[in-house]
Structure 1
Amino acid sequence: AGGGSGVGDNGGGSEVDVDELLGCLAPPPTSPLHVAKAGAKHVPGASPLESVLPSAASVEPDKDLPEPQIELPEDVRPVAFTKCCKFYLRCEVDLKTISFGLRNCEYNPRKHGCVTVRLFEPRATALVAPGGSVKVVVGALSDEMLKMSAKRVARLIQRAGHPEAKFSSYTLTNIVAKASLGFPIRLDALATKWRRNAVYEPELYCNLVFRTRNPRCAYVITVSGKVMISGLRQMADVEEALRRIYPICHDFKT
């Protein structure tokens, strides 16, 4: 009988201990969890922290660059000097067959997993992957000349043992443009103020790299005031990117 009462006492004591432990772990009355619980109904399958933490839709993305307060001078205009495009052959290709069938072709599997095809009129360089994707890089040519160069590469591949190859899904992927702002720039001060966007390591690279999300592009800024813009597909977007970066560089001119 004594043993039975002892078990009962231990059971009651353990229940009291559990209640006290749960009471200690409960959040205080001023916790935002209580406010969220009282103000919103729990949805099955949803996390209880959803009503406490801000949602992604309620948080506005930070704008990289403010609206320009200085107009872009008329003599400061971007000039495209490299354009890149991509298209698909809609078939797999044998890189060795292409390299043996074309003259101005280079294939070194130890160095690169693609075939390099060079055109001389107009000057262009193409990288042909075994899966059938082709990237073409040209200089300061028009969009029409770029597309014509890509079609010439497709014809050469057809003649080099792949008559089933097609020219499809052509897209302009990148424009690299340059512009001269007309004044030198203090790159160290610019990098200090815009540390979220700028990378400047003069021991490794003498220029400053500035990246933005809107527009999504990269700037390479030199101390002499030259700017190179890459990552955009239209010249109108390049001009808008230059219009936004000009006031920032103007604030640090020497």
Structure 2
Amino acid sequence: MSAETNEDACKHPKSNVSGLPDQPCLPRDLAGLNINVRNITTCFNVKTRLNLKKLARTGYNTEHKYFNSEMLTMKLRKPNATAIIWPSGKVICTRTVTEHNARMAARRIARIIQRLDNPNVIFGSYKIVNVFGCCTLPFAIQLVPFAQKYKSNVIYEPELNVGVIYKITELQATLTIFSSGTITVYVKSVEMVKEAIHYIYPLIYPFRKNR
């Protein structure tokens, strides 16, 4: 496929049965692109009220905080994770980068809480609430003409944010696109990080520029 044919394919993506555009130019252009998951946020509930002061006194790597509400921060080393625990038994866990480690970290946090004199702890209501991923394209991007062409899908306020915010309704994904070629992605699952990049790539490609 010639360079011109490849560019035309990016300019005119087709639609498939899933509602997402086909990417005829992707296999060659994205072959060496690193799409990384940087953080997975999960939440679960231990189904019992907790005494956070007691947990802070008896647990390891904990920090008892008061902001708008009382909470306890607990850190794990293996897998690397940070949990925020509320008296109601709700727990939010962050800093993991794979779904396997995210679930493992959540279960270990629940087991630690149980062993700290909370025998009624039950691990439940686990779910992934947010995945943060990113990649850097091999070219810079002209943000102004891109934002003008897709103004119904983007938020671009350069005085507040140097990037263009693009929302993909079909994937419930929010992307921030920077002129350097870096794209950050917020989605609901690990698989959707790659899908979101594949979706936006043929739209961005015509606005590429040399670094």
* TM-score class, shorter: 0.7 to 0.9
Equivalent of 2:123, from 148, 164, 167? 167
Question: Mean alpha-carbon deviation: is it higher for 104-113 or for 221-230?
Answer: 104-113
Equivalent of 1:246, from 190, 201, 206? 201
The alpha-carbon deviation at position 247 of structure 1 amounts to: 0.9
Label 1:228 to 1:64 Cα distance change in 2 as closer, same or farther (>3 A). farther
Q: Deviations over 1:188-230 (max 9, x none)?
A: 2211221222112222222221112111111111111111111
Match of 2:84 in 1: 127
* CA contact 2:43–2:91 (8 Å) conserved in 1: yes
Equivalent of 2:46, from 68, 89, 99? 89
The alpha-carbon deviation at position 128 of structure 1 amounts to: 1.0
In structure 2, stretches of 5+ residues that fail to align are 1-17
The alpha-carbon deviation at position 114 of structure 1 amounts to: 2.1
Paired residues in the alignment total 190
Distance in 2 of aligned mates of 1:96 and 1:249: 51
Distance in 1 of aligned mates of 2:193 and 2:109: 27
Q: What are the residue-to-residue correspondences of 1:209-248 with 2, within 5 Å?
A: 209-235=165-191, 237-248=192-203
Question: Mean alpha-carbon deviation: is it higher for 105-114 or for 65-74?
Answer: 65-74
Match of 1:71 in 2: 26
Q: What are the residue-to-residue correspondences of 1:185-224 with 2, within 5 Å?
A: 185-224=141-180
Runs of 4+ in 1 over 6 A off after TM superposition: none
Query: Secondary structure at 1:83's aligned position in 2?
Result: strand
> Greater relative contact order: 1 or 2 (C-alpha under 8 angstroms, separation 6 or more)?
2
Q: Deviations over 1:43-86 (max 9, x none)?
A: xxxxxxxxxxxxxxxxxxxx997554543521224211211222
The alpha-carbon deviation at position 89 of structure 1 amounts to: 0.4
Label 1:114 to 1:64 Cα distance change in 2 as closer, same or farther (>3 A). farther
Compute the TM-score of the two structures, normalised by the length of structure 1: 0.68
Q: Deviations over 1:17-66 (max 9, x none)?
A: xxxxxxxxxxxxxxxxxxxxxxxxxxxxxxxxxxxxxxxxxxxxxx9975
Q: What are the residue-to-residue correspondences of 1:147-166 with 2, within 5 Å?
A: 147-166=103-122
Query: Secondary structure at 1:170's aligned position in 2?
Result: strand
* CA contact 1:82–1:177 (8 Å) conserved in 2: yes
Once the two structures are aligned, what percentage of the paired residues are identical?
27
Compute the TM-score of the two structures, normalised by the length of structure 2: 0.81
Q: Deviations over 1:125-170 (max 9, x none)?
A: 0011222121111243x32222221111112211233221111232
Query: Secondary structure at 2:105's aligned position in 1?
Result: helix
* CA contact 1:64–1:212 (8 Å) conserved in 2: no
Match of 1:114 in 2: 71
Structure of larger gyration radius: 1
Letter in 2 for 1:243: H
The alpha-carbon deviation at position 121 of structure 1 amounts to: 2.6
Equivalent of 1:143, from 83, 99, 105? 99
Letter in 1 for 2:155: V
Query: Secondary structure at 1:201's aligned position in 2?
Result: coil
Distance in 2 of aligned mates of 1:91 and 1:100: 19
In structure 1, stretches of 5+ residues that fail to align are 1-62
Distance in 1 of aligned mates of 2:149 and 2:80: 42
Query: Secondary structure at 1:214's aligned position in 2?
Result: helix
